[in-house]
Amino acid sequence: MAVDAPATLPNSAAKVGAPRHHTLVFFALLLIMLVAPFVLYPVFLMKVMCFALFASALNLLLGFGGLLSFGHAAYFGIAAYVSAYTAKVWGLPPELAILLGTAAAAVLGLLIGALAIRRQGIYFAMVTLAFAQMVYFFSLQAPFTGGEDGIQAVPRGRLFGFIDLANDLTFYFVVLAIVTGGMLAIYRIIHSPFGQVLKAIRDNEPRSTSLGYKVDRYKLAVFVMSATLAGLAGAIKALVFQLASLTDVHWTMSGEVVLMTLLGGMGTIFGPLVGAAVIIGMQNYFASFGAWVTVLQGMIFVISVLLFREGIVGVISRWIKKPL
């Protein structure tokens, strides 16, 4: 599955004229990820992949739609809760649990998005943040979320009834397949005519309106897509860690994913992947430094904004003079 998916890429990419080197990078990344679990700890890698997808989903909205959502944890978290709950309490198989979690995020994205797109810029950021805070309080108090204990000991189950996901390595390749699929979907969206209109709106909204595009519909559509993909990431994460908790819906999570996108490079394809890997790796390996990790994250934020607005991948892309 993991191998099939990218095989279709050259065709679809060629149609919209995506540069050839993207295909190369995709394959290189995939190759690395196929070997990686034999070198690094698979659970850690799965976490990186979940956040890479999450950050890419945010990037779809921020980097290509020009809308900064400071409340994306809401979709990530709600999907985590729904997939954990359905897998544990209803005993659904993992594929259905993930699907339902993702769907929940999509619905939530539609509700919040419809309100949030009424404002722009900073207001949009604050509104999404405030709504995410509502979702947080809901998660804290709703009977099915288990309050601050979260939903624990979620069974990973058997995919399609015969692939046992309890094995970390097996699950790793399933996650790799899903995340690859998600990434390709994002890539496809960005390079479709829809994506072109989005970029036009991002760059000059009044002009796009005057050209006859229903700007609000485009914005809502990309908002819902982004929420859905963030939900997909959250749903997988819940099964990987067998846990859905308040951390997933807290606003610091929203901040973290913005940081990943910013650090990796907003509006680049591969930036969020790099950003996620750096931040998650940092959290993982510097865990013993306690609050210094927060300080370090804050400093990275400040430095990225002041000196490094293109992000890591943005800088590389400038060096090699090719969009990444």
Partner 1 sequence: MVELFGIPPQALFGQLLLGLINGSFYALLSLGLAVIFGLLNIINFAHGAQYMMGAFVAWMMLTYFGVNYWWALLLVPLAVGATGIVLERLMISRLYHLDHLYGLLLTFGLALVIQGLFRNYYGVSGLPYSIPAELSGGTNLGFMFLPTYRGWVVVASLAVCLGTWFAIERTQLGAYLRAATENPSLVGAFGINVPRMITLTYGFGVALAALAGVLAAPIYSVNPNMGADLIIVVFAVVVIGGMGSILGAILTGFGLGIVEGLVKVFYPEASAVAVFVIMALVLLVKPAGLFGRVA
Partner 2 sequence: MTTKTLLLAALATTLMAGTAMATDIKIGVLNDRSGVYADLSGEGSVIAARMAVEDFDAANKDINVEIVSADHQNKPDVASNIARQWYDQDGVDIIVDVPTSSAALAVSEVTREKDKVFINSGAGSTALTGDQCSPNTIHWTYDTYALAKGTGGAMVAQGDTNWFFITADYAFGHSLEEETTKVVEAAGGEVMGTARHPFPGTDFSSYLLQAQSSGADVIGLANAGGDTVNAIKQAAEFGITQAGQNLAGLLIFITDVHALGLQAAQGLVLTESFYWDLNDQTREWSERFAAENGGKMPTMVHAGVYSGVMHYLKAVEATGGKDTAELMSAMKDTPTDDPLFGQGEVRADGRKIHDMYLFQVKTPEESSGPWDYYNLLATIPAAEAFRPMEEGGCALVTQ
Q: Does 149 bind partner 2 (CB under 8 A)?
A: yes
Which of partner 1, partner 2, none lies near 288, with the C-beta cut-off 5 to 8 A by kind?
A: partner 2
CB 246 within 8 A of CB 288: no
Which residues 160-219 are close enough to bind partner 2 by CB under 8 A?
none
What string marks each residue from 40 to 79 as x (binds partner 1 by CB under 8 A) or -?
A: ----------------------------x-x---------
Residues that bind partner 1 (rule: CB under 8 A) add up to a total of 41
Shorter beta-carbon distance to partner 1: residue 173 or 308: 308
Residues 6+ apart with CB under 8 A from 296: 282, 286, 289
Taking the C-alpha atoms of residue 128 and residue 116, their distance in angstroms, rounded to an integer, is 6
Taking the C-alpha atoms of residue 18 and residue 299, their distance in angstroms, rounded to an integer, is 35
Q: Is the dihedral of CA 260, 264, 267, 268 positive or negative?
A: negative
Shortest reach from residue 151's CB to partner 2, in Å: 10
Which of partner 2, partner 1, none lies near 44, with the C-beta cut-off 5 to 8 A by kind?
A: partner 2
Among 88, 117, 222, 248, binds partner 2 (CB under 8 A): 248
Residues that bind partner 2 (rule: CB under 8 A) add up to a total of 27
Structure tokens belonging to residue 69: 């959502």
Taking the C-alpha atoms of residue 18 and residue 24, their distance in angstroms, rounded to an integer, is 12
CB 129 within 8 A of CB 255: no
- Range in contact with partner 2 (rule: CB under 8 A) among 19-27, 63-71, 223-231, 235-243: 235-243
Taking the C-alpha atoms of residue 145 and residue 49, their distance in angstroms, rounded to an integer, is 24
Shortest reach from residue 235's CB to partner 2, in Å: 14
Kindly tell me the burial class for residue 25, based on how many C-beta atoms sit within 10 Å of its own C-beta (0-12, 13-18, 19 or more): middle
Among 2, 5, 34, 126, binds partner 1 (CB under 8 A): 126
Taking the C-alpha atoms of residue 291 and residue 48, their distance in angstroms, rounded to an integer, is 21
Taking the C-alpha atoms of residue 227 and residue 213, their distance in angstroms, rounded to an integer, is 22
Which of partner 1, partner 2, none lies near 125, with the C-beta cut-off 5 to 8 A by kind?
A: partner 1
What string marks each residue from 277 to 306 as x (binds partner 1 by CB under 8 A) or -?
A: -------------xxxxxx-xxxxxx-xxx
Q: Does 89 bind partner 2 (CB under 8 A)?
A: no
Q: Does 127 bind partner 1 (CB under 8 A)?
A: yes
Shorter beta-carbon distance to partner 2: residue 26 or 81: 81
Structure tokens belonging to residue 54: 């999450």
Q: HSE (CB half, 13 Å, CA atoms) of 226?
A: 32
Note the Cα 252 to chain centre separation in Å. 15
- Residue 74's region, left for phi above 0, alpha for psi from -120 to 50, else beta, is alpha
Among 24, 35, 122, 166, binds partner 1 (CB under 8 A): 122
**Residues at the site binding partner 1, with contacts judged by CB under 8 A:** 68, 70, 115, 118-123, 125-127, 129-131, 133-134, 137-138, 141, 251, 255, 258-259, 262, 290-295, 297-302, 304-306, 309
**Residues at the site binding partner 2, with contacts judged by CB under 8 A:** 41, 43-44, 47, 137, 140-141, 146-150, 152-153, 241-243, 245, 247-248, 284, 287-291, 294
